A = this chain, B = another copy of it.
């Protein structure tokens, strides 16, 4: 899939229909993620691909109520890292930035498979770490809902039914990009 097409197709959608997630697919998207850049090639990201019924159930318990739609996702990916897995240069820590770079590539690879990848912040991190045996000192930064998009939005709340139809907007160039000098 063309890079720009994948980027334009990546949307935080919420209506899913069930699909089987094959191990082969997980390997392939992981290998696309791991090719990301990281400080001194530290590769600080850790991904738990959650697709088993029992593990998914445990993780569903940790979602905040506005993310209950994610219970219909066929897979949840827990993305975690910690400071010690990456460079710290002066007071600059790189683990979250580098994990973000790999996660962007992961999500684009999932989109290339014709699936939705929707990263969420609304979950109880302590409970989710316990559910997946993620060590306490890891920062569980996001759960990504992965699934096949459904044209049936009827299970979603009213607000989410509307957002499902509309692309989210972006800031104009002048508000986030500058030439030669910061002008924010």
A contact residues vs B (CB 8 Å cutoff)? 1-4, 6-8, 10, 12, 23, 26-27, 30-32, 34-37, 39-41, 43, 45-52, 54-55, 78, 80, 87, 89-90, 92-94, 96-105, 107-109, 112, 119, 121-122, 125, 132-135, 138-142, 168-171, 173, 176-184
Contact B41 A121 (CB under 8 A): no
**When the two chains form the complex, which single residue of B39, B108, B168, B182 contacts A3, counting CB atoms closer than 8 Å?**
B108
Q: Is the CB of A97 within 8 A of B176?
A: no
Cβ contact within 8 Å between B171 and A36: no
A46 and B184 within 8 A (CB): yes
Contact B7 A6 (CB under 8 A): no
Contact between B52 and A180 (Cβ–Cβ < 8 Å)?
Answer: yes
A33 CB, min distance to chain B CBs, angstroms: 8
Distance in Å from the Cβ of A103 to the closest Cβ of chain B? 6
Q: List the B residue with the shortest CB-CB distance to A78.
A: B182
Q: Which chain B residues border A36 with CB–CB below 8 Å?
A: 7, 104
List B contacts of A41 (CB < 8 A): 168-169
Residues of chain B contacted by A26 (CB below 8 angstroms): 177, 179
Contact B103 A47 (CB under 8 A): no
The reply to whether A132 and B100 form a contact with Cβ atoms under 8 Å apart is no
Are B47 and A177 in touch, CB under 8 angstroms? yes
* Min distance, Cβ A173 to any Cβ of chain B, angstroms: 6
Contact of A142 among B1, B97, B104 (CB under 8 A): B97
**How many Å lie between the Cα of A180 and that of B77 in the bound state?**
9
